[in-house]
Amino acid sequence: MSDSASYLAYVASVPRLRAAAGALLRDNEGRVLLVHPVYKDEWDIPGGIVEAGESPVSALLRELREELGIAPPVGRLACVDWVPPAPPWDAGLMFVFDAGVLTDPQIAALRLQPEELDEYVFVPPADLGKLLPPGLARRMNAVVSAADAGHTAYLEDGLIRPLP
């Protein structure tokens, strides 16, 4: 086998990793925007899967336009969370960006895409665990803390992992 063929075989054998991008969006009271997808029973944050060849920021902006009809400025990366496999899903990297505070007129202009979302709510950070699945609740609590402190958190399954 030629060096080129060996290299291509190696590249083909490298594991692929799914990725998603979400937004921390808040109202002027500091409550966090959650959305309810029509295709599952759990609440979620605005955002979605990163498509092939798409960057996390581009994916987030696309999802916010499609699902909510908004294009807020995306700010600092608040966290990267490695999530373990949970069949049928493989392991993945979840990026959450601080997209700032929505004004009352911006909130009034939210337009849910009915094929994707049927409801939204602003929730105090202390109540995230009441609506979100446990891993996402851990992630979003860490995101709020990181965003408030002006830094980026590295998480594994929603838990802060200090780097050596």
Identify whether 8 is part of a domain.
no
Q: Who contacts 48 (Cβ-Cβ below 8 Å, separation ≥6)?
A: 20, 21, 22, 59, 63, 67
Name the stretches of the chain with pLDDT < 70: 1-2
Q: Is residue 55 in some structural domain? A: yes
Residue 4 domain-assigned? no
Which residues span the domain enclosing 74?
A: 17-160
Phi, psi angles (nearest 5°) of residue 139: -60, -50
pLDDT in tens, 49-77: 999 999 999 999 999 999 999 999 998 99
| Residues 133-142: tens digit of each pLDDT | 999 999 999 9
**Local structure of 68: helix, strand or coil:** helix
User: At which residue do the structure tokens 């294009």 appear?
Assistant: 71
H-only helix segments in 78-150? 104-108, 128-131, 134-149
User: Each residue of 40-52: b (16+ CB within 10 Å) or e?
Assistant: eeebbbbbbebee
Number of domains in the chain: 1
CATH of the domain at 62: 3.90.79.10
- What is the rounded CA–CA span in Å between residue 42 and residue 17? 23
